[in-house]
Amino acid sequence: MATEIIFPRVDMDMASGRFSRWLVEEGRPVAKGEPLFEIETDKAAMEIDAPASGILRGVRAARGEEVPVGAAVGWIVSHGEAWREPASAAPHPEPAILSVPEAAAAPSEVAPPAAVLDPPTTLLRATPLARREARRLAIDLHRVQGTGPRGRILAADLPRQQDATTPPDAAAPDLLRTGLHREWRGQPEHAAGLPLVFLHGFGSDLSGWRAVSAGLQGSHRLLLVDLPGHGRSGAAGSTGFEDLVDAVQAVLDEEGVRRCVLVGHSLGGAVALGLLDAGIVEVAALCLLAPAGLGPEIDGSFLSGLLRARSEASLAPWLRRLFADPAAVTPAFVRATLRGRTGDHVACQQALAEAVFPDGTQGISLRHVLGRVTMPAKVVWGTRDTIIPPRHAAALPGRIALHRVEAGHMPHVEAAPLVSALIAELARSVPA
Amino acid sequence: MDQPVRELSYAQALQEAMAQAMEADDRVFLMGEDIGIYGGAFGVTGDLVERFGAERVIDTPIAELGSAGVAVGAALCGSRPVLEFQFSDFATLAMEQIVNQAAKIRYMLGGAVSVPLVMRFPAGSGTGAAAQHSQSLEAWFAHVPGLKVVQPSTPEDAKGLLLSAIDDPDPVMLFEHKLLYKTKGPVPPEPYRTPIGKALIRRTGRDLTIVATAIMVHRALEAAAILAADGIDAEVIDLRSLRPLDRDTLVDSVSRTTRLLCVYEGVRTLGIGAEISALIAESEAFDRLDAPIGRLGGAECPLPYNPELERAAVPQVPDIVDKARALVRGTV
């Protein structure tokens, strides 16, 4: 199967760029992640990595040529695969990975060598103490987002250990049962209180709740879950929406959570509605942040760009779309995001995207579940969200409060203190 | 009933140490420029010439190399000379005797003799004495095996370290910060010894270790009080002795606090902070570090005469507060 080599968007406001030169000759082998060609923007020259392993074929961009963003500049074909130039040579208006069913590739395709699935080898910055603690606790530092300068990982950035925070009645987490990673936060003295369960969005992980949970863990017990194929959860199995809901319900069963406040962002918001719909866990209150499942639109190019990105240069522009202020996306954030993704995770997320958001459309509709919202509930939406349009919050049932906040798609990051306060208010409104 | 605590100035404490040493041991005598009837440029020797006579409190000519040579010779012959330099900057004039003779004779003669010499140096800036009378050159001498280098920061340590230095069989250099001479503190009246080579934790803390010398100890303590209001709990170590260095106290402290800031008045580059930083980086405290090591030292220039510039050229309390905050909050 041939993989298109797309001229990337490396800057928010670029429509085209200058192709500088190939770094690999046509007909020569190239490994995924190796520098493949150079481009120039107004600001800088940049190396672009190969999106796949194979042989470079059909190069159609030459030195000095101005190329539109999204255009194919060549192809990478598998070793031994016959090469025939595709008929369509028109530039893609927007690269859309979801129409390229890579995960559905024929089983006869030769598997790439294991090495190309390794996470990108970016420089890891961590203090000596963080490294020592990570060794002691068997934590993979590539999965930790550093808060120090240039993304340096400090000892305080390591995931909190279970000892002080595990509620006394909770069983030790058994990853083998569900494969889902979860972390309890908060103080043991709140163990009897109603837990707040947090479900992150597509392509994120539980570390995205850092800012919001910081404002809540002094007074509540929080359960943060990594969805399948995200964060430190395994990539195996579940790819459909129902599988997601079942997997999270299984975590709640394992953790002894029968009643809780559910907080979900984006895809996690849809999962929260799915849990409510399934009716197993008792949802005492519900907080949905820019939830999926309330309308057909979603930024498909964001999904495909995110999944396609293999380098900091190609990932950063897509991450910037999440925020009202693109400056919120620091190089450290980009690095940490890239570092957190293994080949397995990306493949799993691709399958998930195809199942839940086929062809850049929301294939799940949970609007009917809103009629079952009888508990205190809030929907929070950034007025400048370009990933899922805020108008999906129009015509909510009257008993659901809508909070329109000055933010993009990430209100829990962009307006963390407010979102913390809203969740706390919601939790207060239900009896423990 | 408790006796009221007796307080002396730093200069008085040094004088008391010399007086008690001379009373106890006839071999002890003092040399230096203007230390007799004038009482010393900073008044440290005071009226000692009246109490012990001009034979034991000897005014020297303005000839540091010659005086140092006489002192080394006297020490080799069994005396216990205490040589005062009028300013530590003038140690440059006596380099040959200090570095090539005093520091090396015991080694060169296979231990057959030793040089029980004490040299006292008024040091540091803050008095408007300009570039040739304000330096902190202690790290130069701490680089030389065969010399011991101490920097008391309180009257109590000034007396205790000077008495230890006089007892010591080898050359010991005392760097006395000029701004400290008039500071007062409790000083036990009896003779006592403060061990050479032992640092002292002046304030315990959990969040970072500030290692400071001489006047910087006081600035670090002041900074620690400000930091405490911010919820930052700084440990302050008074290094007291540059050679030998108290490795164990430093390593143990940094292992607990996970952060290190060195504060010293000598020029920052290649100064004592470099040695402490390297010592920690090489030690078992290395993988307890949760922030880069910080150093605050003197500016890379001759000390200015202008008082504002002079202040700006050495670490002040706000500098220490800012740097410590940055280290603890993970912004550097």
Query: What whole-number distance in Å separates Cα of residue B111 and Cα of residue B84?
Result: 26
Helix (H) and strand (E) counts in chain A? 12, 15
Position A17 scores a pLDDT of 83
Query: Which B positions 117-156 lie with beta carbon below 8 A of chain A?
Result: none
CA–CA min distance B278, chain A (Å) = 15
What is the rounded average pLDDT of the residues B31-50?
97
B258–chain A Cβ distance below 8 A for any pair? yes
Residue B1 lies in a domain: no
Please confirm, yes or no, whether B143 is among the known catalytic residues. Answer: no
Are A249 and A343 in a shared domain? yes
Question: Which pLDDT value is given to residue A71?
Answer: 81
Put the strands of the sheet holding B118-123 in their side by side order.
B57-59, B28-32, B80-84, B118-123, B172-177, B148-150, B241-243
Q: Is the pLDDT at B1 greater than 60, yes or no?
A: no
Bigger pLDDT: A264 vs A256: A264
Same domain, B47 and B181: yes
d(CA B124, CA B153): 12
Our CA-based measurement puts residue A394 at a distance from the nearest CA of chain B, in whole angstroms, of 42
Q: Indicate the helix (H) or strand (E) that contains A196.
A: strand A196-199
d(CA A274, CA A373): 12
pLDDT at A12: 66
**Which chain A residues have a beta carbon less than 8 Å from that of B330?**
147-149, 152, 154, 156
- Minimum Cα–Cα distance from B255: chain A residue: A129
A72-126: pLDDT as tens digits: 888 888 877 777 766 544 444 444 333 333 333 344 444 444 333 344 445 788 9
A85 shares its domain with A203: no
Q: What is the pLDDT of residues A367-386, one digit of tens each?
A: 999 988 999 999 999 999 99
Q: Which amino acid is at B288?
A: R
State the average pLDDT over residues B11-18: 98
Contacts of B291 in chain A (CB under 8 A): 127, 148, 154
Domains in chain B, number = 2
**Do A253 and A366 belong together in one domain?**
yes
One-letter identity of residue A12: M
Q: Is B287 within 8 Å of A132 when comparing Cβ atoms?
A: yes
| DSSP classification of residue A379 | E
Task: Identify how many contiguous H helices and E strands chain B contains and give both numbers.
Answer: 12, 14
B84/B42 Cα distance (integer angstroms): 11
pLDDT at A179: 67
User: Under a CB-based contact definition with an 8 Å cutoff, are residues B174 and B166 in contact?
Assistant: no
Range of the domain at B54: 7-186
Cross-strand bridge partners of residue A160: none
Choose among B286, B331, B332: nearest Cβ to A128: B286
Are the beta carbons of A132 and B288 separated by less than 8 Å? yes
- How confident is the model over B243-276, as pLDDT tens digits? 999 999 999 999 999 999 999 999 999 999 999 9
> Does one domain contain both A178 and A295?
yes
Cα–Cα distance, A163 to A210 (Å, whole number):
19
Q: Is B283 left (phi over 0), alpha (psi -120 to 50) or beta?
A: beta
For residue B12, which phi and psi values (nearest 5 degrees)? -65, -35
Instruction: Please indicate whether residue B96 is annotated as part of the active site.
Output: no
Which entry of B33, B64, B176, B235 is annotated as an active-site residue? B64
- Which amino acid is it at A121? T
Rounded-to-integer distance, Cα A230 and Cα A211, Å = 19
Type of residue at B313: A
CATH number at B211 reads: 3.40.50.920
CA proximity to A263, closest of A232, A221, A300: A221
CA A151 from centre of chain: 19
Say yes or no: A190 and A306 in one domain. yes
Q: Which of A378, A400, A405 is nearest to A390 (CA)?
A: A405
- Tell me how close the Cα of A147 comes to any Cα of chain B, in angstroms: 8
On whether the CB atoms of residues B163 and B150 are closer than 8 A, the answer is: no
pLDDT digits (tens, 9 = 90+) for B282-316: 999 999 999 999 999 999 999 999 999 999 999 99
Same domain, A88 and A177: no
Q: Are B290 and A154 inside 8 Å of each other by CB?
A: yes
Highest mean pLDDT among A125-129, A165-169, A261-265, A299-303: A261-265
Pair B160, B192: CB distance under 8 Å = yes
Q: Indicate the residue of A130, A149, A155 with minimum beta-carbon distance to B332.
A: A149
**Two tokens, residue B26:** 């006839």
Q: Which tokens is A312 given?
A: 């900091």
The mean predicted confidence, pLDDT, of chain B is 97
Q: Which of A72, A93, A114 is the last residue of a domain?
A: A93
Q: Is B32:B18 a contact under the CB 8 Å cutoff?
A: no
Largest Cα–Cα separation, chain A? 68
Both B146 and B264 in a single domain? no
Residue numbers in A near B286 (CB within 8 A)? 128
The verdict on residue A57 lying in a domain is yes
ipTM: 0.81
Mean pLDDT, rounded, for A55-68: 85
Full domain range(s) for residue A69: 3-93
> Is the domain of B139 the same as that of B222?
no
pLDDT score recorded for residue B2: 62
**Max Cα-Cα span within chain B:** 60
| Whether residue B211 is found in the same domain as residue B137 | no
Candidate list B16, B33, B84, B133, residue with the active-site label: B133
Dihedrals phi, psi of B320, to nearest 5 degrees:
-65, -40
B223 found inside a domain? yes
With CB atoms and an 8 Å threshold, state whether A128 touches B330: no
Q: Do A147 and B291 touch (CB under 8 A)?
A: no
Q: Are residues B172 and B210 in the same domain?
A: no
Q: Domain for residue B193, yes or no? A: no
Q: Which helix (H) or strand (E) holds A107?
A: none
Of B289, B331, B332, the CB nearest to A129: B289
Instruction: Report the distance separating Cα B330 and Cα B332, nearest Å.
Output: 6
Residue A110 lies in a domain: no
Q: Within a 10 A sphere around the Cβ of B78, how many other Cβ atoms? A: 9
What is the per-residue pLDDT for A59?
Answer: 86
The reply to whether residue A131 touches residue B287, judged by beta carbons under 8 angstroms, is: yes
Counting the structural domains of chain A, the total is: 2
- pTM, two decimal places: 0.54
Residue A32 forms part of a structural domain: yes
| Residue bearing tokens 């910055």 | A125
